[in-house]
Structure 1
């Protein structure tokens, strides 16, 4: 069949549509276009620097219809790959991008293997074409994500990771930087979040000669900024209910309808987030194979480098996190960081943060001593400002929180003397240090600073260096015994009340009340003395004989004796509690409710005997890293929360006239002027008057100003 006036060879879009509908009928036209492509390709190879629109259109046409003629198109992808490999650096930017798009189209139709295509694209990252590099980066990440969508292809991932491993060692800066960016993004998207990816970034990225690669790797181990997380969650802050309610009463417009649709999507997204199980993503520092060797290598690089100060800070931060997280030994780190601890040093609060992060219980106290001395001598002296002193005390507290033996008894007692300092910021910092050692090692404090004993402080035993406390029971689990005795007690109490009437109210069971924790009276002391050995009885008899000496000694009774008496009373009970807790742990399986009760009971032990929650508990939540705000926390005037601010606002309005627009009328019942009424009128009613207010041009202003100056001169 001969087609007269056939326009299909020139109209490739129409031909493409027809071929997809009926490939067999248009096979002749396809072969014709394939022959044209091969001829055009040969001509293009003679001068590859020029952009060929004809080759671009023919290549895209053949890629679109490739699935219709599988046998004829087997060699087509390889021809485009050869062109890109042979002329990748000299090709025109548009031509190179067009050929890459053709290959992506063929990859989606399985004409080319994913590894071959990604290998080619990694080589094309060396080209001096920023738009192409971003395009290829996006495709590489998307393609790897799609491959691992249903199940992870371990063989493909391993082969590609080894290839990227070699690309990171490449001397070309652009390809190395993009390779590390791709690895980091794949990890953050939970596609390649295994230990191999992390260790490739650690072993090659952090020690790369290319500065951009090294900085990107260090930032990866430091994690994302909080500001970025807040920006990503900004949509979730919108309350959909407000928009839905307001839409019921407001006038219906297209803009409002779009807003409602958007809010519905956000509400659906929020609902899915709540229903989804929480995912715990550990930091990359947990997955490093050899953290000790990695930290030593990083520190050695830091000592010999001439990098910018910001890069050195990032390296110090990564090393400190490694030491604190894995309990490493890197003794040279502490004298190095001690040299930087000066009040005038740039970013000194961050350096103090690194010193605290690098502290843990296994670090020998003499190793941390240079840091503690540097902070005490350079920060905590009265020749500095109060803010500097407060920051120094906060830094000491954060270091001692992780390494209690880092400070000696003499230095601790000297620092504690600032508890009565005239400035509140220094005073609060010193008191938080006292509160910390009350809970961990009260014997290092002066007797008057040890405070009132609590159940928790009685149970705590001060540990020596390297000592680990191993328990054969769950502390606080003895509270579960109350579960079995509560119901029978309630029944007995009800029966007792019914039988005795109002007289039963006089009898109150105080066996488990707070009075057991109070300091004992004289009668309690004598009871305790009767239960002790012969030596204590003789001591009490001697005290009774010398009444005058006893009166003097009562005035100087210290908190240490109170603690000892409380311990004497609590020891038998403590042994019983431990025994019960051990029995419960052996016999029962704890539920979530049981653990909640145990946690509540343990929390009560810290509170009993104290007036308020300690500063250390408020500011130092459980976590791996030291918060910079804990060191920079200067107690001047805390910010009010929303309820406190509203309370102060309402209090200020009490003796004040009603707020709002105030006009100049002396009598509120008299009418307003026309000028005042105009402000509340619809614009359509006053627009004819607004037209008269035309702004003067710059030239008119010049003339008016000149006339004014002339007039002023004449008047003189």
Structure 2
């Protein structure tokens, strides 16, 4: 191999680095020369580590780049750099410290350094007053651990790294503890360390003596649904690709339109992938806690004894309410504590109402939640407050009762239901939503006129008791499948059952008919009268009395048969649903048919033709957490409709000058110039006279410039 410019290689390190990577054996001597120079420079640098050394900067990166080519010669290079950083970490210049860290990261990427050794060094470097270095080290640690678990999770390495992170969380240095929490949270969000061990260690950070660590851990469990925000922003900017493609076919083809079409296609494909992707659960971390009851009690004890900012108290209240509502915990002292903040003038009162609703569930004794409802009714739902405050109070009561309906008493509910005729529409709508909730849960508490028209769903409601769990061994509404599949069999069975019932009733009616015939015959015989004796007439009266007794006996039999039939229908529906659930594997189409039938139950009344409006039967699906918008949802009527708004806009434009070309002539009857007349002509008529400035000749430009200068001179 021909070697050129050997005299320039000692000074040109990038060229030497490139040549060594291609052929390490041929340039071994040049490398040894640079290695010796590197060792000498380090010895000189240790005498004054606080100064920058450009030569050492270049040599360190050069050695890190070619370390895999000469593993024997550079075996001690990582340890040299680690020792140099450990001894002079706080004294080193920021640029030199960053260079040494980059070199170590380069060696780590080439597997010449173990990750645990590098992590220990990087956490020690957090004591330096260098924010840029701390952020750089944090991003490296996260990406390094993520890359190690990219193909498959290395359990042994992960446990060692996790144990080191957990020890750093209890470190006396606040920066090290905060960085360890941030790294674990970021790795959990990236689905690298999403196990229960990581979640429970982050939970210990909620009780840290450092406020930043505690707040970061609490915010992790509060969690904000970032995907919903992204989906909302995407839906606002969403464009239909079919419309753009059709417009591109019709309109003129340009590069701009092609770029726009490609962009819309990419957005459409991205939106389709997002819709077809599996749902993600952002709050699954709370489910992985080992001892949620103990954590809630410790957090509440810490909340009572702390003197931190109000914002920190709010985050703590939020986490406690989520724990209570999700795991159905018992923390009775939480409700009297939160009642102190239930005032309309309280800062962030809507969030506190949200926490009160989140902390309610079915297993809490109704007496405890009832005191919260009474506090809301006394402080919010009174006419001395504004309509918005009353509406928010009613919304909060509705959300609490949705999770714990037994807490509402009959007197309080009927008082709140009276606001359905309130003069303000926001209060009226909030009261009606509360009434609609209890129509589907506990209609017996409402006044008879507020219960609405009875439906099949309300007839199937069972009375609610504390601690009672309505566990069904069948899919409600599954009897529809049996009716649709076996209509002919059901018709036959119904006709057979009707015949059986009619046989009993027919037997009694036959007796009645016979007695009636006898009565008519006796009457005719009485009318003839001349041929009959008195004994026969007496006998006829006795027979009539016997017939009336038979009729009295048969009437209650009919009523009993009707009652039995209604009970038999309910039991038959349950038996059919139970039979379908056991004997059949339900498909997605079957579940759709069942859902449609259940919706019809909420609309269709028990009597034929009686229907309820679909707006009144909103399906209340219980979410894990209460949305703040459900409490702040206040109906606001617009100040005026579209026509009145148009009139107000036109009234504001009355005194305004007309937009457009202003005629500057003193006398409007005098003639206009040819240029002004040209503006009113059709463009195709003057198209040949239009000359663009770019196509003017040099002579025309000179004439235009001369005329312009003459005009300026005249104006002076």
Q: TM-score range by the shorter chain?
A: 0.7 to 0.9
What secondary structure does 2:75 align onto?
A: coil
Match in the other structure for 2:482: 481
Match in the other structure for 2:291: 290
8 Å contact from structure 1 (residues 118, 140) kept in 2: yes
- With over 3 angstroms needed to count, the CA separation of the structure-2 counterparts of 1:535 and 1:401, relative to structure 1, is farther
Separation in 2, partners of 1:389, 1:447: 25
Separation in 2, partners of 1:663, 1:240: 40
Separation in 2, partners of 1:678, 1:28: 86
Separation in 2, partners of 1:364, 1:326: 16
Match in the other structure for 2:141: 140
Cα deviation for residue 262 of structure 1 reads: 5.0
- With over 3 angstroms needed to count, the CA separation of the structure-2 counterparts of 1:421 and 1:268, relative to structure 1, is closer
TM-align CA RMSD? 4.1
Match in the other structure for 1:464: 465
Structure with higher Rg: it is: 2
- With over 3 angstroms needed to count, the CA separation of the structure-2 counterparts of 1:104 and 1:328, relative to structure 1, is same
Separation in 1, partners of 2:490, 2:581: 24
- With over 3 angstroms needed to count, the CA separation of the structure-2 counterparts of 1:237 and 1:166, relative to structure 1, is farther
Cα deviation for residue 60 of structure 1 reads: 0.7
Is 1:211 the counterpart of 2:226? The answer is no
Match in the other structure for 1:714: none
Match in the other structure for 1:636: 636
Is 1:442 the counterpart of 2:405? The answer is no
8 Å contact from structure 2 (residues 483, 490) kept in 1: no
Match in the other structure for 1:429: 430
Match in the other structure for 2:61: 60
Cα deviation for residue 102 of structure 1 reads: 0.7
- With over 3 angstroms needed to count, the CA separation of the structure-2 counterparts of 1:263 and 1:414, relative to structure 1, is closer
8 Å contact from structure 2 (residues 380, 389) kept in 1: yes
- With over 3 angstroms needed to count, the CA separation of the structure-2 counterparts of 1:272 and 1:364, relative to structure 1, is closer
Match in the other structure for 2:161: 160
Cα deviation for residue 313 of structure 1 reads: 1.1
Which residue, out of 540, 547, 568, partners 1:572?
568
Match in the other structure for 1:391: 392
Cα deviation for residue 13 of structure 1 reads: 1.0
8 Å contact from structure 1 (residues 236, 266) kept in 2: no
8 Å contact from structure 1 (residues 435, 614) kept in 2: no
8 Å contact from structure 2 (residues 603, 617) kept in 1: no
Separation in 2, partners of 1:605, 1:111: 70
Unaligned runs of at least 5 residues, structure 2 = 498-551, 606-610, 651-657, 709-716
C-alpha deviations, 1:121-178, integer Å up to 9, x for none?
A: 2222232111111111111111111111111111111111111112122222222222
- With over 3 angstroms needed to count, the CA separation of the structure-2 counterparts of 1:74 and 1:262, relative to structure 1, is farther
Is 1:602 the counterpart of 2:569? The answer is no
Match in the other structure for 1:343: 344
Cα deviation for residue 217 of structure 1 reads: 1.4
- With over 3 angstroms needed to count, the CA separation of the structure-2 counterparts of 1:105 and 1:238, relative to structure 1, is farther
8 Å contact from structure 2 (residues 57, 99) kept in 1: yes
Matches within 5 A, 1:497-646: 570-609=566-605, 610-614=611-615, 617=618, 620-637=620-637
Match in the other structure for 2:116: 115
Match in the other structure for 2:714: none
- With over 3 angstroms needed to count, the CA separation of the structure-2 counterparts of 1:614 and 1:535, relative to structure 1, is farther
What secondary structure does 2:8 align onto?
A: coil
- With over 3 angstroms needed to count, the CA separation of the structure-2 counterparts of 1:127 and 1:260, relative to structure 1, is farther
C-alpha deviations, 1:336-355, integer Å up to 9, x for none?
A: 11111111111111111111
C-alpha deviations, 1:672-710, integer Å up to 9, x for none?
A: 9469669999995699999999xxxxxxxxxxxxxxxxx
Cα deviation for residue 536 of structure 1 reads: 10
Separation in 2, partners of 1:582, 1:91: 77
Separation in 1, partners of 2:62, 2:287: 50
Separation in 2, partners of 1:222, 1:478: 42
8 Å contact from structure 1 (residues 324, 360) kept in 2: yes
Match in the other structure for 2:200: 199
Higher mean alpha-carbon deviation, 240-249 vs 171-180, is at: 240-249
- With over 3 angstroms needed to count, the CA separation of the structure-2 counterparts of 1:93 and 1:578, relative to structure 1, is same
8 Å contact from structure 2 (residues 89, 125) kept in 1: yes
Is 1:177 the counterpart of 2:185? The answer is no
C-alpha deviations, 1:165-221, integer Å up to 9, x for none?
A: 121222222222222111111111111111111111111x21122222222211111
Cα deviation for residue 572 of structure 1 reads: 2.0
Separation in 2, partners of 1:691, 1:313: 76
- With over 3 angstroms needed to count, the CA separation of the structure-2 counterparts of 1:436 and 1:259, relative to structure 1, is closer
8 Å contact from structure 2 (residues 361, 403) kept in 1: yes
Separation in 2, partners of 1:639, 1:176: 55
8 Å contact from structure 2 (residues 223, 283) kept in 1: no
Higher mean alpha-carbon deviation, 12-21 vs 443-452, is at: 443-452
C-alpha deviations, 1:413-437, integer Å up to 9, x for none?
A: 1111112222221122112111111
8 Å contact from structure 2 (residues 225, 282) kept in 1: no
Separation in 1, partners of 2:385, 2:705: 63
Cα deviation for residue 591 of structure 1 reads: 1.5
C-alpha deviations, 1:270-324, integer Å up to 9, x for none?
A: 4544554444555311111111111111111111111111111111111111111
Cα deviation for residue 595 of structure 1 reads: 1.6
Cα deviation for residue 103 of structure 1 reads: 1.0
C-alpha deviations, 1:7-59, integer Å up to 9, x for none?
A: 21111111111111111111011111111111111111122111111111111
C-alpha deviations, 1:611-668, integer Å up to 9, x for none?
A: 32355726x443111111111122233899xxx999x99xx99xxxxxx9988999xx
Match in the other structure for 1:381: 382
Separation in 2, partners of 1:48, 1:580: 86
C-alpha deviations, 1:471-530, integer Å up to 9, x for none?
A: 22221111110232358999x9xxxxxxxxxxxxxxxx9x9xxxxxxxxxxxxxxxxxxx
Separation in 2, partners of 1:534, 1:349: 66
- With over 3 angstroms needed to count, the CA separation of the structure-2 counterparts of 1:311 and 1:277, relative to structure 1, is closer
Separation in 1, partners of 2:554, 2:405: 36
Cα deviation for residue 379 of structure 1 reads: 0.8
What secondary structure does 1:66 align onto?
A: coil
Separation in 1, partners of 2:430, 2:69: 77
Is 1:302 the counterpart of 2:303? The answer is yes
